[in-house]
Each structure stands twice: as structure tokens, then as C-alpha cells.
Structure 1
């Protein structure tokens, strides 16, 4: 069972939407801190970081207030997952949200039942859980896992990954070279946070993280109709 002793910060400038979100999450047993503007939320973060942030993009007079909030969160040593809720659904906005480390970008109006389900799945992945096996070891030379920190290292250098991307990459590490990591395995590894049609986007981000360390990296390959594998061509 998911431990609901988590703190979730919600940043939403519409009072009614903020109240609805806060009520829905409190009813699920979460600790909730609600804010109507970016600056108040950031002051709170400087005192105590939440386990998850849920934020609108437009906050009052700040057209990109949610994006600025995500940039602020990147300044902390501990990665804080972000879910964006927004009526802005352009490809550029969605890309920007994910580029800033958002783990999900959901359209408004949002179904509260869908949101709470996603929150539970996300925290099941990112929160401290007895299900994590500390003895899990990578079968791929040069790729190391730090399971408790949700971090991975390539050639002893840290990879810039979200918690979701870490979980996906871990499937390659535990499968080893040449073994196929199926689409279903990748989706199941994230407890449904990643949908089938967005898997390739996450794989592209994982490849990009490796290329920041090794520009010649080319070890993750598509296996048509099945998934992906790790090998040298």
C-alpha cells in the first residue's frame, strides 16, 4: 500500500480550482500546501521541500509562472517531481514543461480521479519504498545505478534523468546487453505514469542524457514492434 505521508504543493491562481485540487488530495490522505502565486510557493520551498509539486503554467500576471517555478526547483540538490496542469497544449509548451524536468503535463479541465491516480503512481515510484531492492545491480558495463537516489551513472558521471527516466533506464541495466526491453516492460516500470505513445519521447531524452556525457553514444536501439535493446552495432 502507498504511504500517504507525503507533502504535495499545489500552485494554482484560480481559487475554486485550487480548493478542488486541495480537497481531492487531502481526501486521499496526503499533506497538502496550497499557494495562489509563485513567490509564496518558492518561499515555502526554501523552508521545506515537498515530495511533489502540481502547478498551473499561467500564475496571475506571470504567463510562464509555472515554468519559472520549475526552474527554481532545479536549483535544489534534491530532484522534486513536477506535474503541470494547463489549458496551454501547444507542442512547444509541452516540450518546455518536460525539458524543465516535468514528469507529466496534463490538460485542463483535469479529471480529479485521473490526477489522484497519477499522483499515487508517481509517488509509488519516487518515494521511499520497501519494494526497492538495494541489491539490484546493472548488467551493463559502465552503467551504474543508485536506486535509493533514483540516479544513474555512465562512466562514473551522473546522468541528467527524471525519476521516470531512471526507472525506464533501469530496465536496460537489469536486462543487460542484447536483451529486449519491451514496450510493456517500460510502461509497467513507471506504474502507468508513462503512456505507450510517449515512450519514444522518454527514450529520446534518455539518449540525450548519455550524449551530454558521450557525444558518440549510440547503444539504445529500437527493436521494431517489440521495444528497445542495448548493444553496439
Structure 2
């Protein structure tokens, strides 16, 4: 896919920063829809969903406007990746952003070059051609099914609440099968570098929690110290 095929929504209440972001992304050929507030963005999403959302956390008088926007996006039946931009860098804020499905959480002032690389890597995942061999993406784990075209997974026939990034990480376990160790590098590579090494555990926690919403006693994804994670039934 060409960059012009991708639609990105940018929500930023500071118009100077918004214009800077929009101009930098447009220069890369992306189709950009800018917003200065959450209400206008949500109204637009009701008509047409973007491929990616880039949003500040504080939007005007709404201290957690970006987080509220992320909660709204979770109501849709398809994962919409989000990159948060914020001066708020507490562990709680970063955790909250990821818990709400954010792909990344970047500090302000923003490095436009870093943001562009992140965006390209993310959209390379969500827009990548699917494998011609269906068996390459078929789950080897009982009761876990994959729907790669929709970035969805099903546990005991019930849909898991996962972001596109978390789906890609879960797919590593599903296609490797039980007892296989998935290395940290493999998990990071599965997202084309969108996920940083130090945030892998946060995403794994979200994946576990998605399973627990269906089977509360879920305990099949384990940390293998210094190696990565495995899917197996441990005593």
C-alpha cells in the first residue's frame, strides 16, 4: 500500500503543534484529518474510522481528553491503533495509556523524525500483505483461533479484546504452539519495532487480562527469565 492509502487522525489542542504534526505527516504522503478537540474527532469517527490516531492527552479543558478518546475507540468492533503524545510522563500515565490500547506513548516535545518512523512501522504491520500460506497463521493452540485479516483472536469462540499490536504478539505464541519460548526480540520484531523492549511486559499483561475476561483462572503465558515468554500449563 502507498502512504496515501492511509488515513491518520491527529488530535492536538495547540494549533501550532497541530500544524507542525500535520505538515510533517503530509510530507510523507499520508492523508491527515486534524482536530483540536475530542468531540469533533469522535463525531468524525462515527462516519469513518481512520487507520491510526495520534492524540495529545490534555485536550483543552479536558485533562484526560486523550484517554477518554481511547475509551471511545474501544467501543468499535475493530482495533484502531493510537499513539499518545504528552508532556505527562509519570509511570501511571504511561501505564494508563497502554492499558487503554495505545501502541506507543511519546514524550513532548516531539521528535518528528522519530514519530514518522513509528508511524511507518505501525502502518507496515496493519497494512502488510497477508501470507499466501494460511497454515503460516493458523493457531496450534487448542481453543485459540486467529483471524489475521481482521487482527482478531478468539478464545473458546469468544473474541479477545486486543489491539492490533497485541494481536501480532499473541500470534507468535499461537503459531509456535504450546511450550515454545517466544524471545523478547521475536515479540518486538513481530510489531516491526513499534513496541519498545521495556513495554513488552505491559502488553503481555494486557494480553493475559484479555484472556481472563473470558476465563478468569487463565494462567498459560509465563515469563521465562532472561529468555522471553512461553505458553504452557505449569503447576
Alignment match, 2:29: 29
Work out the CA distance in 1 between the residues paired with 2:229 and 2:98: 22
Alignment match, 1:161: 162
Contact 1:151-1:159 at 8 Å conserved across structures: yes
TM-score, length-scaled by structure 2: 0.94
Alignment match, 2:218: 217
Contact 2:95-2:202 at 8 Å conserved across structures: no
Alignment match, 1:142: 143
User: Cα RMSD (Å) of the superposition?
Assistant: 1.3
Work out the CA distance in 2 between the residues paired with 1:16 and 1:194: 28
TM-score, length-scaled by structure 1: 0.95
> 1:11-67: CA deviations, max 9, x gaps?
111111111100110011100011111112122112211111101111111111111
Structure 1 stretches of 4+ with a deviation exceeding 6 A read none
Work out the CA distance in 2 between the residues paired with 1:6 and 1:61: 30
Unmatched tracts of structure 1, length 5 or more: none
Work out the CA distance in 2 between the residues paired with 1:110 and 1:203: 27
Work out the CA distance in 2 between the residues paired with 1:228 and 1:138: 17
Work out the CA distance in 1 between the residues paired with 2:210 and 2:222: 15
Number of matched residues?
Answer: 231
SS across alignment from 2:213: helix
